[in-house]
Structure 1
Amino acid sequence: MRTQVGIIGAGPAGLMLALLLRREGIDAVVLESRSRAYVEQRVRAGLLEQWARDLLVEIGAGDRLQREGMVHDGIRLSCLGRLHAIDFRALVGRTVTIYDQKEVVKDLIALLIERGGEVLFEAEATAVDGITRDAPAIRFRHGGAETTLDCDIVAGCDGFHGIARPAIPDGVLTVYERGYPFGWLGILSESPPPSDELIYAYHERGFALFSMRAPTVSRLYLQCAPDEDVERWSDARIFDELETRLGGSCALARGRVLQKGVTPMRSVVVEPMQHGRLFLAGDSAHIQPPTGAKGMNLAFADVVYLSRALVAHYRQGRSDGLDAYSRTCLDRVWKAQRFSWFMTQLLHRFPDETAFDRRRQLADITYLAGSTAAATALAENYSGLPLA
């Protein structure tokens, strides 16, 4: 097989890149190790920054998004029994949209296939060769046969545990990483959310997040140990703890629990995000705590930058965009990491914290609630910094 750009991974990054390239007449083939059904049902958070929502509409993948996406003007901070509003629309003129990542993936797959794009499901990439030469190749298994995809460029969009990042030789990459001494116990509940906006709650017993997936379906999270045994948490115990951490700031409806699980948290950035003709995007290159809601948005930003560079490469013979890809992406990535860390340390309880730390957190929250300048900085970062 032969194409111009070989893309490993049919997540948001890989699919968006394929669509952006197809729009510009650049050939690409997407290889995905899982089945289409698995990919379309894979549960992930789904919050879109304003520009990312606009991008989906612009490329033609926004019909369902515009009908079903839940637009939010801001967030609420819950602390000491009070709700504090951070109004993004009023502060920076932008909003965010709740729309499940699996629904985004469904829309992108359907559009890519409709436009004649090539996606091979159950095609497991096993090796990437020749990335420092002019003729890289991706070896993969599909339909019981070993096959090679020859290409000009390889885009590694296959997540942190994929094969793309390890294809870069030892000594080339620097990995920046930090773990967190907690995770999130999350449930999907058949109940209306407690507010029309997301609630980020600070409480002496730990952080809680009150989100939604539909007007009658809530997505709720509790800070917990990273290795928490979910079987120890009955539905009643979870709702009791959620009510406690809301601190009486608003009422919480209870409902049938549809899903339950624990998500560990970590921060990872690899530098550079490119080597030779291999370019990393999305979780292949960076992971951040979900507190800042940056995962899918950063993945889209990466491939917007990469698609621009590839268009200049194929249309004008320019290499400056490709050469600067890592530097351009990492500027945004580190700003997103900074914001995700800010939100995480603002609202979570740390095992080694002191009374001073707790008082400082409360001062941060009350400062945000009372300062237009501080609230504007949060709104700007949360709703999405402009693309370079």
Structure 2
Amino acid sequence: MGASPVLPPVIVVGAGQGGLQVAESLRSEGFSGDILLLGAEHHAPYHRPPLSKGLLLGETTAGQVLIRQPAVFDKKGITLRTGTRVAGLDPAARQIVLETGERLEYQALVLATGARPRRLPVPGADARGVHSIRTLDDAQAIGAELAAAENVVVIGGGFIGLEMAAVARKLGKAVTVVEAADRLMARVVAPPVSDHYRALHEGHGVTILFGTAVAGIAVEDGTARGVRCADGTMLPADLVVLGIGVEPETVLAEGAGLVCDRGVVVDGCGRTSHPDIYAIGDCAARRLPDGQCQRLESVQNAVELGKACAAAIVGPDKPFIAAPWFWSDQYDAKLQMVGLSAGHDTVVARQDGATCSWFYFKDGRLIAIDSVNRPADHMAGRKLLAGPNVLTPEMAADGAYPLKDAMTAPVA
């Protein structure tokens, strides 16, 4: 009897947290074939959340953000190639094409290509001293300039921008946040949370300009020296950090004819519109039961969809169905979010000094909880949203009511 044919590897394009999760979960699911993990960056997989927090404060080193030490890849039989860019896909041949022209065959392909920072389309945005923060190299470049900077302007009042503002204030810098909307984190949190964080940042000395557009970056000798607002205001700046969101990296998927809708469209297992091609993490948009597509940018989404993808490749399916959760550290305030508050019609709060939780309901049903320094509420919310949802606005408004009781209360 002849030997079994050697199958090509499972190839994972993108060596971030999601891509690494796919590779490791393939092994835990019992996959014994070859696994090739390709990363465009020259670093091994690393944690991104510390980049805008501990790394800039000097509390974390570049070595400490690595998810796994190099020996782990050999031990698990995962081939990691860093500094490797993919130029295109050839689904008909089951091959990918590297920038070098090399072709690699796959038995299954996973796109974990992430997202790229939005560019600021104004004059001077490419000057020295203007940075986005997405990669380890970005964070190290910002850190090298932050020590000597006096005036820091952050463009964008979302998670990344506000985390950057908090770091700069902790280091004693003068900080101005320029936000086009009328409140902070408007895309992801409800007004009560925005108000809480406005008070938090202004209490730490941050100047926040709302409803303000940027017209350009003032540049001297190739280096940023200020930010010019559309109303004519000139803000002095020797460091400008952009936090205006990201765009999913869908170029490879679009070039291969995969269905995309503000992300590579996938099911709960990461399957795309093409057999044997999957997508996970920030580049993926999950198709919901109502036909809408939802793209989430979080560690949890990358990790859990990565696990589901690996299970689907090996079989049987284990779709990702958990409620989404996120977090953000700013100063000594930890914001933890579970569920999605968009569309809520009722919000009630539990507050005790600087700690607070907001409970969001739609048609009397709990859909999300946002908490600041109340981890027990957050963990209870993850359990409530994972099963029968019996918490009412009246229960949530009663600070003496134990949330754990709502997990076991009979459904009416």
Which TM-score band applies after superposition, normalised by the shorter structure?
A: 0.3 to 0.5
Which structure: larger Rg? 2
Structure with the higher helix share, 1 or 2: 1
TM-score, length of structure 2 as denominator length: 0.44
Greater relative contact order (Cα < 8 A, sep 6+): 1
TM-score, length basis structure 1: 0.46
